[in-house]
Every structure is written in structure tokens, then in C-alpha cells.
Structure 1
Amino acid sequence: MESEVELHLRRMIFDRLAEIVAENGVVTRTQLEALEVGGQTRRVIDRNRGIWNPKDLSATLSVVSSPQGPYFDTHVDDSLFAYDYRSGSTGGDNRKLRRAYELELPIILLRRIETGVFVPVFPVYVVADDAANRRFILALDESLRFFADPLHLRPIEREYAERALKQRLHQPEFRGRILLAYEQRCAVCTLRHGKLLDAAHIIGDDKPHGLPVVDNGLSLCKIHHAAYDANLLGISPDYIVCINRELMEEIDGPMLRHGLQEMHGRTLTLPTRRADRPSKDRLAERFNEFRTAV
């Protein structure tokens, strides 16, 4: 019964985080330290450590993963995620993370992308306690919990797991970084409604060099993302928006006129930091595709 109450609370926390991420792509440390959930304020991250073990919960609530951190958190076989024990004994903070495994309670993986800025991944499950290597194995997709041996997947299981990793980890991180760089606005029309913003690849992720990095991305509202993917909207290497010629000549309603035709010739709204701006080489390659499709 206690576990059911705790599980309900965790799901309420997940729902609140999902609302924030839908709007902003990321969540800040300030928000995580005082998250409003069910009329109460909950802390969702430890002040100084990577594992947050609330006193009133049976098991760990969240773990932080940072590329610049002292631990070697990494993917395992491109499908699961390894999270190192906290240094010292196998007990301590590790004990409650082990309880999450034993009680099958979901936790939050907080991926740090900037100081004080995170992309939360949830629900995440601890599916193995790899004591020999002093690490826990996390599944980023609930269905991975039911594989007979998560560390030795069959080919069909591996294919599913790799797809889940891309959807649950890589895509949310990419969107978080892009929306942060573009300050939650569409680069074409400057729409600021976060729930209507996507992270669009310049070079598609179906290509080897279509990497989920900021200079291969654009923050686009859903209509401009769809138009860009369909090569109805192009962006030149000098950041000028171009609309397909036939579309420019078409007569339809106000959405076509204001949403697309009036964007022709506009200069892209760019991130403040030069390092975050779209690669001109990538734009040139993609723009050639657009011109060929015209």
C-alpha cells in the first residue's frame, strides 16, 4: 500500500515536469528545488549530490547525469544507461537507489545540459545492480523492464531498445538544447508558445552526419517545421527564409498568406551565442535539396 501511494506521488511529479518541459524544453534547478505538485512544494533534486533521496520516500527520486561530472555515466550497448555508484561504500546514497530497483519504482534521470539547466527523462527504471562494476543499470523505457536479460538483448530487442533510447533521451535533449539556444521562439516567425515549438534537424537524423547538435538544429513552430521537412520552406546559408515558388503563387486562406507567403525573404532569428547558430555548411547542403525540390 505504501508503495502505491509513493508511486502515485511520483506520477504527479512526472506530470508536472512534463508540463514544464512541453513549454520550455528544459527545467531549471530553481524549479526542481521547489516544484509545485498537488498543492505542495517538493524538492526534486539534491542540493549538492547527484542522487536525491527524500526522507519521506522509500527510494531514490532522481539522479543527475553530467558529462562534466566525476562519474562515468554512459550508455550500455546503445540501449540502456549505466549510472555509477556514489563513491565510498556500496551503501549510503546507493542504498535507496537499490531500493528503487527492489520496489520497481520509477525515478527521474536529470541530464545536465548547462549549469543549473536539465532535461528530465522519466519514468526511468533501475533494472540491474551491477555490483562487480559498481554501477546500476537504468532502462529509459518501461517495456525494457520485461526483457529476460536487459544486458544481453536479442536482435529484435536491441532494435527496439535503440529506438527507445533515441526517442526518450536523444530527442528530448536535442529539443531542450535548441529551445534554450533560441530562447523558446520560432526562428522563422518568432512564435514564443513553447508547446508549439519543435527542434528541427537541418541535416536529417536519418543521415550519418545528421547529428543532434545545436548547430544542426533550428527552433521552428510546427507549421514551419512541417514546411521545412517537406521542402516547401528553405533557409539559405546567409539565413534568409525562402518559400517554394508554387506555394508563393497559390491562393488560399489567411494561414497560407500570413503563415508562409509573408515569411518569404525574412531573415532568420538567430541564437545570441555564435556557437549555437546554425552551421552555414549544413544550411547550404540542405538548401540545395530545397532548390532541387522546387
Structure 2
Amino acid sequence: MKPASGCFGKPPRSDPCPDRNRGVATDSRDLRTAAMAWLDERPHERVDFAWLSTFEFDGLRVPLMDRQRGIRKPAGMDAALAIRTTFTPPGQTPPYADAIGPDGLQRYKYRGDDPSHPENVALRRAWQMKLPIMWFVGVEPGLYEPLYPVWVIGDSPQNLEFTLALDAAQRHFDATSVDLDEDYRSYMERLTKIRLHQRVFRTQVLLAYESHCAVCNLAHESLLDAAHIIADGQPDGLPVVPNGLAMCKIHHAAFDNRILGIRPDDLTLHIRQDILEEIDGPMLRHGLQEMHDRRLMRIPRSHAARPDQVRLEERYQEFLSA
């Protein structure tokens, strides 16, 4: 990653956000392209406000996020450049009810209840001008998962919300069609879940487990998954941290295939009997058989983020029935 230029080492300015003084080229597509390319080279998967404030374009610092506003429109631009969703701790209700609509597409709520609020107008302009934006989704206090490019493809003043396309395949979807094909709707929803829900779920689960496997304590993030306790699409199979476990890929696969179970009362591991009796190489012996009757090696520090006991019980009964 190339070091961000920012304003470090320069004489102090009277305004810490110079784009307020000079403005930027009105809705320059080059600026958006440059910002997304800059995000591609970020040093860490997640970003914060301080780092996002160091982006420069044509010698002008253009912060990609506002500290207070959810919709970012730099001075001089007609349309929004980015949107933000703040982090909501496990078990708490988010301030905005952003959700997947009946067409399988993601919704983003207005700022307040006035469709003419300047922030809503700015995001509406991005829709009208077919401009890509960036979405920073809070995954813990002050830390964001960047999603881009994202497009606004619909506006519903009566519901106080915009419709977003999170994938290029969703951009030209007609969300107003009354004859909505169920297979196509399901495809749209699957794309939304892959691009947003599953990605944010993985990030939040790995952060809760400090990027370690709950079973074996492996600490290589590229080898870790966020395993659902109750599968996605099932009742209570929500992409929330209490329904997740950080697992390395071998233990995730064993969990999903009912080779490995977790007793909900004491969080000890149970390896299926036929696997315990099998004779094979060191991966089976050390990776699975020796895990039997051990407790999980890692659980979140936050009680609210720990595995939900009711979900664990349901999943354990499924394991015992295998």
C-alpha cells in the first residue's frame, strides 16, 4: 500500500477539511474511480475515519467520510460520494432499519423523514446521474467494512428509503415490476447476501473472536471462516455474531458435516464416534480426534457476542441425530 499523503507535515490550516473551502470538480467520475482504486490498496481490510480522511485527488484532500453525517457529499459536488452505516452491538436495535426488500435488493433509509433533506437530495442525484458510490458499514465501534462500487437504483419517498445495487448484475433490475419472477428475485437476494450480509457477518465474527479459530486457536485470518450455528435461510439463521463461530476451514467443514458438535451446556467438543474409531493420518488424529472432549479454545470477550445457547442446543441435537 502506498502511504496516504494526507496533510501530515504541512502547515496547519484554518479548516481541517479543505474541500469545504475550494470544492472539488462537480461529480468527477475520475475522483470516484481514484477513490475506489485507493481503497483497493488499503493496508488493512477494515478502515476508520482517520484513514479515510487522508484521501487526496488532484492535490486536494477529500475525506471519504463525514464524522457526523451518514451521507457524504463533498463541497462542490452535486451527488453523494459515499454512505455510512454505524455499528450496532449484538443484541441492540440499529437506528435505521436497513434491510433486504421483497425484491431481494438492499434498502438504505433516508436521513430523517424529509425527502428534501440535502443529504437525501445528494443521494437521489447519484441515482439520477447513475454514479457509483462507496458504502462504509460499521463492524465495530469506529471501524468499517468498505463496500464498493454500489449504485442507487431506486427511490421510495413513501417508504423513506433508497434501493441499492451491490453487484453489477443488480444495476438494471426493475424493482417496480409487479410480475417478479421468483427465481430471479432469489438470485437478487443471494447476491445481496453475498456482497453485504455474509461479508459483514464474517468480519464481525472474526473481530469478536480476535481472528482465531474457536476450536483450535489457529490465528491465520485467510484460513478462517464465520460458521453459522443455525444455517443461513433457516429460522433464527440470521447473520449476527451470536449465531456465528470463527472456525478454520477444516473445523468449519467438520461442523457443517456433523462430524464435530458443540455441547451447549459447557462448550465442549464432541467428535462423531465413527470418526473417533477411524485410522488415518495426522490431520485426522490431531485436527479432529484429539479435539474430542476439549472445550472451545476461544470465545468472545463480550458476553453479548458469545454463541447463543438456544441456537447451540438446536444445532447439537442435529449433530446427535446424524
Q: Under a length normalisation based on structure 1, what TM-score does the superposition of the two structures give?
A: 0.80
Residue 172 of structure 1 aligns with which residue? 199
Cα displacement string for residues 119-171 of structure 1 (whole angstroms, at most 9, x for unaligned residues): 33332101134456665332223222112x32336224322222222222221
| CA distance, structure 1, for counterparts of residue 97 and residue 211 of structure 2 | 31
Deviation at 1:4, TM superposition (A): 5.5
Matching residue of 2:152: 126
Q: Name the residue aligned to 2:101.
A: 76
1:182 maps to: 209
Mapping 1:1-294, distance limit 5 Å: 5-16=30-41, 20-21=44-45, 26-34=46-54, 43-55=63-75, 59-66=79-86, 73-77=98-102, 78-85=104-111, 90=116, 92-130=118-156, 135-147=161-173, 149-152=174-177, 154-155=180-181, 156-237=183-264, 238-268=266-296, 269-293=298-322
Shift of 1:225: 0.6
Q: Evaluate the alpha carbon distance shift between residue 88 and residue 191 of structure 1 in structure 2; reply closer, same or farther with a 3 A threshold.
A: same
State the identity %.
43
**How far is 1:228 from its partner?**
0.6
Count of paired positions? 284
- Secondary structure at the residue paired with 1:49? coil
Paired residue secondary structure (2:171): helix
* 3-state DSSP of counterpart to 1:124: strand
Q: Which has the larger radius of gyration?
A: 2
- Stretch moving more, 263-272 or 107-116: 107-116
Give the letter aligned to residue 174 of structure 1.
F
Structure 1 outlier segments of 4+, above 6 Å:
67-70, 86-89
Q: Is the 8 A contact 2:70 2:111 kept in 1?
A: no
Match of 2:207, SS state, is helix
Q: Secondary structure at the match of 1:76?
A: coil
Secondary structure of 1:125's match? strand
State the Cα distance separating 1:196 from its structure 2 match. Answer: 1.8
Q: Secondary structure at the match of 2:36?
A: helix
Aligned to 2:11: none
Q: More displaced, 28-37 or 210-219?
A: 28-37
Q: Cα 1:79–1:94, aligned 2, differ >3 Å: closer, same or farther?
A: closer
Residue pair 1:64, 1:112 contacting (<8 A) in 2 also: yes
* Structure 1 residue runs without a partner (length 5+): none
TM-score (norm 2): 0.74
Residues 69-90 of structure 1, C-alpha deviations (whole Å, 9 max, x = no match): 7666454334231331577783
Aligned Cα root-mean-square deviation (Å): 3.3
Aligned-partner residue type, residue 110 of structure 1: F
The higher relative CO (CA closer than 8 Å, separation ≥ 6) is in 1
Counting strand residues as a fraction of each chain, which structure ranks higher?
1
Letter in 2 for 1:167: I
